[in-house]
């Protein structure tokens, strides 16, 4: 059974926590991690790129010159794709890039991501995180005490407006709820700081 050290907000070790083998000692499936990450990135695409065909470009209602007798190539419209300012052939149109993978695959990928980050020693468990009032300076001090620099994912068990407001102005820091974490956020950070209650919530939600 994997174990991890527990730290307080001063950066001092205050104990150890046994983690669920189902969630934090799962097989690391790199192919599945790639598939789920690709799905998340595709679902973020807006798909609003749009080009005009020759039917949508303004102008070109009159034949530029007569069909025969000019010595030039025949043309019916100055908005033909071969003309400058003409329509675009097979250009992008608004579309949705969204697709989904099976729920079991996404759950398995998330367990793989948690296991991989634990094996990389990128997971820091915080005994508790409580702030009396929103203070960015206090949150930055806690992260400094935990040696959590660069891109940090802060995971809490329940929504907390004080923690959110204390975190939103710190560069590289992103907050998330334990029940809503995803593979892309877990992989795209240098360190995961998660509260003890959030660990229990993660094991409860993602064990099956």
> 110-114, 128-132, 181-185 — which is least confidently predicted?
128-132
CATH number of the structural domain 3-45+99-206: 3.40.1370.10
State percent of the chain over pLDDT 90.
93
Distance CA 127, CA 157 (A): 12
| 45-79 confidence digits (pLDDT tens) | 999 999 999 999 998 889 999 999 999 999 999 99
- What's residue 60's pLDDT? 86
Predicted confidence band of residue 1 (pLDDT cuts 50, 70, 90): confident
pLDDT at 22 over 90: yes
- What's residue 208's pLDDT? 76
Distance CA 181, CA 130 (A): 21
CATH 3.40.1370.10 region(s) of the chain?
3-45+99-206
The model scores a pTM over 0.75: yes
Predicted confidence band of residue 110 (pLDDT cuts 50, 70, 90): very high
pLDDT at 96 over 80: yes
Average pLDDT over the chain, rounded to an integer: 94
Query: If you average pLDDT over residues 80-108, what whole number do you get?
Result: 95
Q: 126-143 burial by CB neighbour count: b if 16+ within 10 A, else e?
A: bbebebeebeeeebbebb
| 128-177 confidence digits (pLDDT tens) | 999 999 999 999 999 999 999 899 999 999 999 999 999 999 999 999 99
| 26-54 confidence digits (pLDDT tens) | 999 999 999 999 999 999 999 999 999 99
């Amino acid at each position: 059974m994997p174990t991890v050290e527990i730290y307080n907000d001063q950066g001092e070790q205050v104990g150890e926590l046994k983690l669920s083998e189902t969630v934090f000692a799962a097989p690391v499936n790199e192919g599945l991690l790639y598939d789920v990450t690709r799905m998340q990135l595709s679902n973020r695409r807006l798909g609003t790129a749009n080009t005009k065909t020759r039917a949508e470009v303004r102008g070109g209602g009159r034949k530029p010159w007569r069909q025969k007798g000019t010595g030039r190539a025949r043309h019916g419209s100055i908005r033909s794709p071969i003309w400058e300012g003409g329509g675009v052939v097979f250009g992008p149109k608004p579309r949705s890039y969204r697709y989904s993978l099976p729920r079991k695959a996404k759950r398995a990928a998330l367990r793989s991501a948690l296991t991989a980050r634990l094996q990389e020693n990128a997971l820091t468990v915080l005994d508790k995180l409580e702030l009396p009032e929103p203070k960015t300076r206090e949150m930055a001090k806690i992260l400094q005490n935990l040696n959590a620099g660069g891109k940090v994912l802060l995971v809490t068990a329940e929504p907390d407006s004080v923690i959110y407001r204390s975190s939103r102005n710190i560069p590289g820091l992103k907050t998330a709820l334990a029940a809503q974490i995803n593979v892309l956020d877990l992989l795209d950070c240098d360190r995961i700081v998660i509260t003890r209650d959030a660990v229990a919530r993660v094991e409860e939600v993602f064990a099956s």
